Amino acid sequence: MTPPGNVAPELPHDPELGAALSDAASRAMRGVHRAVSELRRGTPVLLTGPQGALVVAAAETVGARGLAEIAAAALAPPVLLLAPVRAAAVLQRPINAATPPRRGDALKPGALQTEDGVAALKLGPALLNPELLRRLADPVAGRLLPEVPELVLPHVLAPAALGLAKLGRLLPALVAAPAQEHVAGGLDLLRVPAAEVLSYPATAATTLVRVAEARVPLQDARDARIVAFRAADGGIEHLAILVGQPEEMAASGGAPLVRAHSECFTGDLLGSLRCDCGPQLRGAIQRMAQDGTGVLLYLAQEGRGIGLVNKLRAYTLQDGGLDTLDANRALGYGADERGFLVAATMLEQLGIPRIRLLTNNPDKMSGLAACGIEVVGRVAHRFAANGVNDKYLETKADRFGHLLR
């Protein structure tokens, strides 16, 4: 299960061409970043492509005004775009997605078919109401609906719409209607090319630049520095914590110990017992201090890339009986939404192309290797269960293929 966004795009070698491309990349990222902000505040945006235009708003945030703007731009009645798993839950019917949701899942006879990993539900007037849209989007919200929506074919730009909501760490559920570009222009809706939404994760990862660095002695590693990396979109920074002199070790052909640690507010900062992140974070720094060298990449990929708000929703679903993988999927997200191109770019910029990786997760090894990092070895990084996270650790081994030693 290699996460998406892990294939390094070809980088330009001609410096002039490179500058021109990075200008275009930075304009594209600005557009997508603005579109994400619009969705997060409940404003519709216009997705464009050669096949037409689609006006979309996030079901989680849209209000009466946003719905009126969609109606004014729409060429046809609006639908609700959902991940197939969520659509199946709403319809209370099994569903076959064109993109198989899980290795080994058998197609269910008599199940609904969907295209491109997206399902579309027709929204009759009774469902075009902000509170009901939130219930349709959110498996944690109440179930009561005045009518069961009907499954229809999604627009060709629907996958980009879901992608945009995911970039905003919103529930992947959007009110959407085909629109005429010029009509929507009169409404002053932000336009964003669907292709730029789809290429955004790779563009953001490959435009990271070092922006600040400081010596920060740590309780467990006095000789430590923090280097901050920022992408051209101005989004949240990723951090590298360097223990000792890993760059020197790499320069003389060595392979320093590296941990790619995805941020976990609850585990890293609060000491939550639901996961193993806190012990893994501190354990990694201690291990690097013992070795004398190491790099801990602290990646802004909270909740395996679904964001803190969705992780809290996933926890509520887990309290209702789902495991960590199915809870992600019930929200409409993949089991693991992380890409490791960010980590690979940071290592490349630090001058560390060969590493020994501190992990139990084989996907991290293959993800980094696919992005051009030479992973010469793995060092296991397991901590004992604490009585609360036992099932979480079991699920990582059983369903994510995490190595037990």
Ligand X SMILES: Nc1nc2c(ncn2[C@@H]2O[C@H](COP(=O)(O)OP(=O)(O)OP(=O)(O)O)[C@@H](O)[C@H]2O)c(=O)[nH]1
**Smaller CB separation from ligand X, 287 or 402:** 402
SS3 359: coil
For residue 277, say whether it is annotated as part of any ligand binding site: yes
Question: For 347-376, b where at least 16 C-beta lie within 10 A, e where not — what string?
Answer: bbebebebbbbbbbbebbbbbbbbbebebe
Contacts with Zn ion by CB under 5 A: the residue count is: 4
Decide if residue 262 touches ligand X (CB under 6 A): yes
**Smaller CB separation from ligand X, 180 or 272:** 272
Please give the full DSSP string across 63-75, using - where no structure is assigned. Answer: -HHHHHHHHHHBS
SS3 384: coil
Which of the following is catalytic: 134, 338, 363, 382? 338
Decide if residue 203 touches ligand X (CB under 6 A): no
Q: What is the DSSP letter of 125?
A: G
If contact means CB under 5 to 8 A according to the sort of partner, which of ligand X, Zn ion, none does residue 324 touch?
ligand X
Q: Measure the CA dihedral 103/108/109/113, to 10°.
A: -90
**Smaller CB separation from Zn ion, 244 or 267:** 267
Which of the stretches 82-90, 133-141, 355-363, 365-373 binds ligand X when contact is defined by CB under 6 A? 355-363
Q: Which of 86, 134, 169, 261 binds ligand X (CB under 6 A)?
A: 261
SS3 227: strand
Q: Which of residues 216-275 bind Zn ion (CB under 5 A)?
A: 264, 267, 275
For residue 43, say whether it is annotated as part of any ligand binding site: no
Q: Which of 221, 359, 371, 375 binds ligand X (CB under 6 A)?
A: 359
Minimal distance, residue 138 CB to ligand X, in Å: 15
Residues 40, 19: contact at Cβ < 8 Å? no
For residue 309, give every residue at least 6 positions away whose Cβ sits within 8 Å of its Cβ, in sequence order, or none: 169
For residue 324, say whether it is annotated as part of any ligand binding site: yes
Minimal distance, residue 301 CB to ligand X, in Å: 6
Q: What is the DSSP letter of 187?
A: T
Q: Which of residues 278-317 bind ligand X (CB under 6 A)?
A: 280, 301-304, 306, 311, 314
Q: Which of 165, 221, 277, 357 binds Zn ion (CB under 5 A)?
A: 277
- Helices and strands (DSSP H and E) totals, the chain: 15, 16
**Smaller CB separation from ligand X, 130 or 278:** 278
Residue 183 token pair? 């009509």
For residue 172, give every residue at least 6 positions away whose Cβ sits within 8 Å of its Cβ, in sequence order, or none: 81, 82, 83, 86, 162, 165, 166, 331, 332, 333
Q: Which of 264, 295, 297, 341 binds ligand X (CB under 6 A)?
A: 264
331 φ, ψ to 5°? -80, -10
Residues 387, 273: contact at Cβ < 8 Å? yes
Residues 357, 365: contact at Cβ < 8 Å? yes
**Smaller CB separation from ligand X, 72 or 226:** 226
**Smaller CB separation from Zn ion, 277 or 325:** 277
If contact means CB under 5 to 8 A according to the sort of partner, which of ligand X, Zn ion, none does residue 389 touch?
none
SS3 377: strand
If contact means CB under 5 to 8 A according to the sort of partner, which of Zn ion, ligand X, none does residue 203 touch?
none
Which of the stretches 55-63, 185-193, 220-228, 273-281 binds ligand X when contact is defined by CB under 6 A? 273-281
Q: Which of 6, 48, 61, 324 binds ligand X (CB under 6 A)?
A: 324
SS3 211: strand
For residue 247, say whether it is annotated as part of any ligand binding site: no
Contacts with ligand X by CB under 6 A: the residue count is: 23
Residues 120, 78: contact at Cβ < 8 Å? no
Minimal distance, residue 286 CB to Zn ion, in Å: 18
Q: Which of 69, 138, 263, 326 binds ligand X (CB under 6 A)?
A: 263
Residues 284, 261: contact at Cβ < 8 Å? yes
Residue 284 token pair? 């990694």
Decide if residue 381 touches ligand X (CB under 6 A): yes
- In this structure, is the dihedral angle defined by the CA atoms of residues 160, 165, 169 and 170, taken in order, positive or negative? negative
Is 338 labeled as catalytic in the residue annotation?
A: yes
Residue numbers at the binding site for Zn ion (CB under 5 A): 264, 267, 275, 277
Binding residues for GTP: 259-263, 280, 302-304, 324, 359, 364
Catalytic residues: 336, 338
Residue numbers at the binding site for ligand X (CB under 6 A): 261-264, 275, 277, 280, 301-304, 306, 311, 314, 324, 328, 359-361, 364, 381, 396, 402
